[in-house]
Amino acid sequence: MSIGIILGSGLGQIAELVETDRIIEYSEIDGGLRSTVEGHKGRIICGNYMGKSVAVMQGRIHYYEGYNTKQVVKPIEYMKEELGIDKLIITNASGGINESFTPGNLMLINDHITSFVPSPLIGVDLTEKTGARFHDMTYVYDREYINLAHSIANELGIDLKDGVYLQTTGPQYETPAEIKMFRTLGADAVGMSTAVEALYAHAIGLRVCGISCITNMAAGITSSKLSHEEVQMTADKAGLDFRQLIESIISRM
Ligand code: HPA
């Protein structure tokens, strides 16, 4: 069985390190799929990495690109059904809501809020595939992987944070008032992806590990405005920690 990996904004370099056997463009999975965001390619790289068989999504499909959330999760369904993955590492760039965070920190996702984005399971009955019509979401993020990631971070001397990720539709960044609301709701970080992917992956039986790179403080926490350039620059700078962490997680999964 192999490991699926979704690479977020500015984190795509890992894909270059895979000993590649095969590349699958998203358009081959579904004619309507294509990633339209700078910094995001739209393909799955299959091969070997850290001695493991991996399928790496270089770039993801976003809801804000105009796709519905069922399309957003198509590559995950494909990786499970056609490529045989049984685990999924999901990464992203996010805005820090928790004021103890600093841009450049990595945050292990221990839960999420997906209530602001339509469920990818609407109109999809997974009963035949999974045995359930209503899926439990108590432990979307695998507890063993959370423990594993923390012990690896300790060994590597990486200050790995922990928290709840909230997904918005995007593509606009949030207002300061929205960030206050999200903090009240219990969110530590905010972004435009991941939660629907994780919920779908969990529903179809994949073990999920989620890691977020806090690329900026969320709107209104400092006086600066937000930009995609800042997001990419900080993600690039955090790249080394991120790569070390993810490589050790992959090799010990
Ligand atoms: N908000 C939403 N998405 C993001 C942010 C943010 O502040 N930073 C990176 N992705």
Q: Residue 77: its pLDDT value, please?
A: 97
Residues with CB under 6 A from ligand 1: 93-95, 173-174, 190-192, 215-216, 218, 226, 231
Residue 157's CB: how many other CB atoms inside 10 A?
8
Of 106, 194, 216, best ligand 1 pocket probe by most atoms within 8 Å of the beta carbon: 216
What distance in angstroms lies between residue 228's CA and the mean position of ligand 1's atoms?
A: 8
Give the pTM: 0.95
Residue 184's CB: how many other CB atoms inside 10 A?
8
Q: Residue 41: its pLDDT value, please?
A: 77
What distance in angstroms lies between residue 189's CA and the mean position of ligand 1's atoms?
A: 8
Taking the C-alpha atoms of residue 131 and residue 180, their distance in angstroms, rounded to an integer, is 39
Q: Residue 116: its pLDDT value, please?
A: 97
- Could you list the active site residues? 9, 40, 62, 64-65, 93, 192-193, 216, 228
Task: Write out pLDDT tens, residues 19-77.
Answer: 999 999 998 998 888 656 655 578 999 999 999 999 999 989 999 999 999 999 999 99
Q: What is the DSSP string of the chain?
A: -EEEEEE-TT-GGGGGGSEEEEEEEHHHH-TT----STT---EEEEEEETTEEEEEEES---GGGT--HHHHTHHHHHHHHTT-EEEEEEEEEEEE-STT--TT-EEEEEEEE-TTS--TTTT---HHHHS-SS---TT-B-HHHHHHHHHHHHHHT--EEEEEEEE---SSPPPHHHHHHHHHTT-SEEESSSHHHHHHHHHTT-EEEEEEEEEEEPTTSSSPPP-HHHHHHHHHHTHHHHHHHHHHHHHH-
Positions in the chain short of pLDDT 50: none
Q: Residue 239: its pLDDT value, please?
A: 83
Name the pairing type of β-strands 106-113 and 207-217. antiparallel
State the closest ligand 1 atom to the C-alpha of 96, by its place in the atom list counted from 1: 7
Q: Residue 231: its pLDDT value, please?
A: 84
